[in-house]
Amino acid sequence: MGFVTTADGTEIFFKDWGSGQPVVFSHGWPLNSDAWDSQARFMAENGYRAIAHDRRGHGRSGQPWNGNDMDTYADDLAHLIETLDLRDAVLVGHSTGGGEVVRYLGRHGSARVSKAVLLGAVPPLMLKTEANPEGLPIEVFDGIRAGVLNDRSQFYQDLSASFYGPGVSQGTRDSFWLMSMACGLKAAVDCVKQFSETDFTADLAGIDVPVLVAHGDADQIVPIADSALKSAELIKDATLKVYPGAPHGLFGDFDAAFNADLLAFVRG
């Protein structure tokens, strides 16, 4: 584990397990790299170097007032990859982290990347617009901002239910709450605009590495019809994997199935 310091002085925490070809994980909002522990351990035990960072404003990373935007998230990821001199990396992003991976590829290219994985990811665009009528109305995201600002502790407890769906343990929901509370309030609010209003269409169309697009068809947070199904059509070399009945968050059988699919895709 360690930190890298970005150009604006923000410290980015990361964990670095195992050795071999690097697999780099970007987490969802409002969590941190601990959300990837199952995958990071699994990949490290199977001969890969698993690296996962806390996005700025989240977890153990610095909480600057500025820079809580998708371009800066992507630039922070680039700084981490370049500082560690990672090559032939597989980038894996969940939810907002999927947007971070896509924007990284759009801004920095694939010179250091061999493959990417988007799990329950927000691209191409979550917000309902004239050009994206299947998206969610702005009132949904205004409600998220209001929930975070008014009583974020209770909001995160409530959100964990729809994040994981029925059947999840109270312990897993408590873990979600704990990670969420470690996200700074400014970053938590700013990030809502980034995951909901950022249009990744051009980034997706420019990706030139193989991509696994994985999504649960019971996802209540990022509906599959306006995300994975569209992304798989926009990416030149995409493999779509749909998990029947699976929610947004990884746990139980869904977690185990995704681990197996991730390993197979990286090895393939």
Residues recognised as catalytic: 95, 219, 248
**Which residues pair with residue 13 across a beta bridge?**
3
Taking CA atoms, 261 is separated from 160, 218, 238, in Å, by: 25, 18, 14
Q: For residues 50 and 43, is the Cβ–Cβ distance under 8 A?
A: yes
Task: Give which of 27, 245, 30 is closest to 157, Cα–Cα.
Answer: 30
| Residue 103, number of CB atoms within 10 A of its CB | 24
Beta strands in the chain (DSSP E): 2-5, 11-17, 22-26, 49-53, 89-94, 113-119, 211-216, 238-243
Region of 11 please: left (phi>0), alpha (psi -120 to 50) or beta.
Answer: beta
Q: For residues 124 and 198, is the Cβ–Cβ distance under 8 A?
A: no
Report the distance separating Cα 103 and Cα 266, nearest Å.
Answer: 21
Q: For residues 234 and 139, is the Cβ–Cβ distance under 8 A?
A: no
Residue 142 makes CB contacts below 8 A (sequence gap 6+) with none
Taking CA atoms, 192 is separated from 143, 182, 197, 226, in Å, by: 10, 16, 8, 17
